A and B are shown apart, each in its own frame.
Chain A
Amino acid sequence: MDKVLSNKKMIALYVLPSLLLILAIVYIPIVLTAYYGLHEWNGIGAMKFVGLDNYQELLKDETFWKSAWHSFMLAIFSGVSLILYLIVAIVLAARIKGANIFRKIYLIPMLLSSVAIAQLWLKIFHPSNGVLNSVLESIGFENPPAWLAEPSIVLYALFVPILWQYAGFYILIYYAALKNIPASLEEAAKIDGASAWQVAWRIKLPLVMEVFKVTIVLAVVGSLKYFDLIFVMTDGGPNGSSEVMASYMYHQAFRAYDFGYGSAIGFFLLVICLIATWLIRKLTASKDTIQYS
């Protein structure tokens, strides 16, 4: 085996297929998107080169910045909710009774497709027959809001299913990371008289920090390019009050037939995600990584 892997040609043979695939379906389209963004194009007819006009217009586009703000809000909410997920994971990993069942319960939303989740929550949020409003009415709230129709509420109403959808995913990651910590460390601490709180705060938390940093990047970037539930549940409405960057891109490209502008938004979105990743990595970088041994 060692011999095979030291052969340069063999390495190339193994790496090449996936490299070509990723070039063809990821990197080349990225370059093409940037290129389309330089054109005025309805997606069908001839393309007209307009230089940086689309990007200039984008910088001045209020609707775009409004949707960018919504995306950032989602990123902040997802980022903060990670702390909650970590706490849940720590509790679950502590061998409490029924942890196994809870773990599965938290994971189930992740197994559902986004459209199914959207349909489910549409029923919950339905203004007159929805579960939520029926409950609110039965406990005495008169005229509860139409969650998905009020411009001031809709965004937050949407955050609930979005965060709920991914909770299981992050809890699972943290759970695995926590289970990876050698039991000997915890035992040693306990023998030294550490409380459960101290074990969690001083031993477990530092040891899962690297994983936590990775999940911050995942959550923030995932939120910035988020699309599916919003698209199905409100389509960015009403009046654009739940529009995010990705849905705005879709609307420009596929509804208004402005592929050039849509591509420009898409490319800009990529740039924003790259900057966000870089910033997070930089801000959370620590010189000394804590090791188990």
Chain B
Amino acid sequence: MLLTLSLAVVVAGCGSNNGNNGNAASNAPSSEGATESQGTVDTGGEKVTVNFMHLWPEGVSAGQNKIVNQIIDSYQTEHPNVTIKQEVLDNEQYKSKLKVLSASNQLPDVGVTWAAGFLQPYVEGNLFTPVDDLLSGELNGKFVAGTTEAYAINGKTYALPLEFNIAPVYYNKAIFEKNNLEIPQTYEQFKTVVKTLSDAGVAPIALGNKDRWTGSLWYMYLADRIAGQATLAGAINGSSSFTDEGLMKAATEVQSLVDVNAFVKGFNGLSNEEAKSEFLNGKAAMYMMGTWELPNFTTNEDIPQEFRDSVGFFKFPTVDGGKGDINSWVGGPGVGLFVSENSKVKDEAKKFVEYFVTKWGEQSVTGAGVIPATKVDTSALELPQLYIDLFNEMNKASSITLFADVQMQASAAETHLNMIQALFGKAATPAKFAEEHDAAIAK
């Protein structure tokens, strides 16, 4: 433990120097004490306060909150001249406050951001600073492939990801057994499963499409399996059109699933939380959601053991004649850390981010059930089987398509989400769905 700690200090000291003056060589072998004195030279030994705003309040995200505090405590012990001042808000409030603070140019030194489309206006407004120097430093090669790219705009990376998620279909083994069902390998089998469950009076799929991005997952997988990952990715980034035959077929397929009552009753009026409780209560047999739900299916004591034991997952089945691959996933990094461009303590802030990301990777899996964006050696950890299986799937992934609403710019994402709800609610035809998407993305 002591070794890791002092190693981490070296890592932290080294990385920032790398970025600052390329003076790393002289610093690298320094011990804890030496870094301290070296630090005096670098920062003038002044008392520094780094403001850190995040979204893990104790009540809502107890696990994450504890880890954040542990990391901050140990960082402050190792850097006595640095004080990390936290400001904690919950998710939606956090997003609003970040906007307000940006408008008045008072962003915290370090904060939490989302990828791609969310990030873009902040980068264009010159509010976040590039952190490529950290990436080429000690963190080089530590991230799971494809995670930092989501935070890159015009070749520069503006935040370091903390989480990484993919979305499998969770299913209730007890319900499947009772109806003599097997995990579907092909889409035809999947439709049979849906029909059997529906005939038996069980809601096949829990879907809370009031939140809209939930339905987007289903569309994205159908699009991926029918039209292929490249086509879907192209349409989302605007290089090709949503009127592609395969994509149109995926949209049609969504509506035919609605027709056979695949989703719970009133899904367009249910929130994701409400839909989730249908699955947790054993009223619905399947639920597609990101791996961030894993603690609820494994370690969360508030949910009955019997239910947790009966949750399994499967990969979205392949479609006959489709161009997709069963190992292609929809997913993406969750939140990442940014450093404010106008921070007065940018170097200290970057050091802290580097330290935080490293420590987070070590602690978040076991402590909060988060799948970190940094590589984890699962063999060294004691984890529930469901985690290990999904970790392995992640390593086998042939491609991972970033959640469409995260990837698109805000206004296009809004159109996408609205059209998803309309498509599921049969208020829009697949043709209209495609047309609106192309228009919004081209804007």
Task: Please indicate the chain A residues that have their CB under 8 angstroms from the CB of B103 in the complex.
Answer: 43-44
Task: Please indicate the chain A residues that have their CB under 8 angstroms from the CB of B414 in the complex.
Answer: 251, 255-256
Task: Please indicate the chain B residues that have their CB under 8 angstroms from the CB of A237 in the complex.
Answer: 210, 212, 268-269, 421
B255-273 near A? 1/0 per residue, CB < 8 Å: 0000000001111111000
A contact residues, range: 20 to 34
Contact indicator A235/B422 (Cβ below 8 Å): no
Please measure, in the bound complex, the distance between the C-alpha atom of A160 and the C-alpha atom of B422, giving whole angstroms. 25
A205 contacts the other chain (CB 8 A): no
User: Which of B127, B210, B264, B266 is A44 in contact with, Cβ under 8 Å?
Assistant: B127
What are 23 contact pairs spanning A and B, CB under 8 A?
A: A42-B125, A42-B410, A43-B99, A44-B125, A45-B121, A45-B125, A128-B203, A128-B264, A128-B266, A146-B265, A147-B266, A147-B269, A148-B266, A149-B265, A149-B425, A234-B210, A237-B210, A237-B212, A238-B209, A238-B210, A254-B95, A255-B414, A257-B410
Most B CB within 10 A of own CB, among A43, A44, A127, A150: A44
Task: Please indicate the chain A residues that have their CB under 8 angstroms from the CB of B265 in the complex.
Answer: 127-128, 146, 149
Chain A at the B interface: mostly helix, strand, loop or mixed? Answer: loop
B307 contacts the other chain (CB 8 A): no
Most A CB within 10 A of own CB, among B102, B266, B411: B266
Contact indicator A146/B411 (Cβ below 8 Å): no
A46 contacts the other chain (CB 8 A): yes
Task: Please indicate the chain B residues that have their CB under 8 angstroms from the CB of A254 in the complex.
Answer: 95-96, 99
B283 contacts the other chain (CB 8 A): yes
Q: Which residue of B lies closest to A255 (CB)?
A: B414
A93 contacts the other chain (CB 8 A): no
- A residues near B (Cβ < 8 Å) are 42-46, 122, 125-128, 146-151, 154, 234-235, 237-240, 251, 254-258
Q: Which 4 A-B pairs have the closest CB atoms?
A: A146-B266, A127-B266, A149-B269, A148-B269
Given the known interface contacts A234-B269, A238-B210, A239-B422, the answer about A44 and B411 at a Cβ–Cβ threshold of 8 Å is no
B394-434 near A? 1/0 per residue, CB < 8 Å: 00000000000000001100100010011001011000000
Contact indicator A45/B124 (Cβ below 8 Å): yes
Please measure, in the bound complex, the distance between the C-alpha atom of A230 and the C-alpha atom of B428, giving whole angstroms. 23
Q: Which residue of B lies closest to A130 (CB)?
A: B266
Please measure, in the bound complex, the distance between the C-alpha atom of A154 and the C-alpha atom of B274, giving whole angstroms. 17
Given the known interface contacts A146-B265, A237-B421, the answer about A44 and B121 at a Cβ–Cβ threshold of 8 Å is yes
Q: Which B82-136 residues have C-beta < 8 A from chain A?
A: 95-96, 99, 102-103, 121-122, 124-127
Nearest Cβ distance between residue A35 and chain B, in whole angstroms?
14
